[in-house]
Amino acid sequence: MIYDVSVPILDTMPVWPSDPQVKLTPKPHSSRDKSHIVRVTGIEIGSHTGTHIDAPYHMIEDGRRLNQIPLQTLIGPVVVLEIPGVRSIKSSDLEKFNLSGVQRILFKTDNSQHWNDSKFYEEFVYLEPEAAEFLVERDIKLVGIDYLSIDKFESESHPTRILSCSGVMSSSLRDSI
């Protein structure tokens, strides 16, 4: 079974405060023989919009770029860990789950309800650095969370993302499962 966890791209979707707003521009035109209308849309977005992957290069100068990440890292069985009612995900939240044999994790948090806010939600749930370390120690190869960052908003040094990019691929994903 394949599940699409991508967020629909809309003009009204929340974007990171320093990123460009999404701009969808209808660009219909007549077909060459004028028998019908061809409907296309111009799309302007930042690379950190909606469902996206942060390659290690996003935070580490000599880290792998997106085109250097093996597709096998991004495709395969995944475990969805539902962790509601928390401000951040700590290693103590993760210790209750059996992660034996798990390679990919998607976090379902209260963040999911903020994709329709039409503005950026600053209090999103994030992964604590010690929880990222917990996952790195277990050789988890992909971590996804249901908002625009895995680090705390206004983090100065991005400790979770740096740790994740060193050993775990971080991505921001909406959960629709």
pLDDT tens per residue, range 131-173: 998 998 898 988 999 999 988 998 876 666 555 554 444 444 3
**Token pair 């991508």 in the structure block, residue:** 6
Nearest to 170 by CA among 3, 52, 19: 52
**Please, which pLDDT band fits residue 91 given cuts at 50, 70 and 90?**
very high
Which stretch of DSSP H or E encloses residue 165?
A: helix 159-167
Least confident span in 65-69, 70-74, 78-82, 154-158: 154-158
Determine the residue type at 126: Y
3-state secondary structure of 54: strand
Q: What is the mean pLDDT of the chain?
A: 87
Report H helices in 22-139: 71-74, 91-94, 129-137
Q: What is the DSSP letter of 115?
A: T
Q: In the beta sheet, which residues pair with residue 81?
A: 107
**Structure tokens given for 120:** 């950026």
Which stretch of DSSP H or E encloses residue 162?
A: helix 159-167
Distance CA(177)–CA(166), nearest Å, equals: 28
Distance CA(152)–CA(84), nearest Å, equals: 17
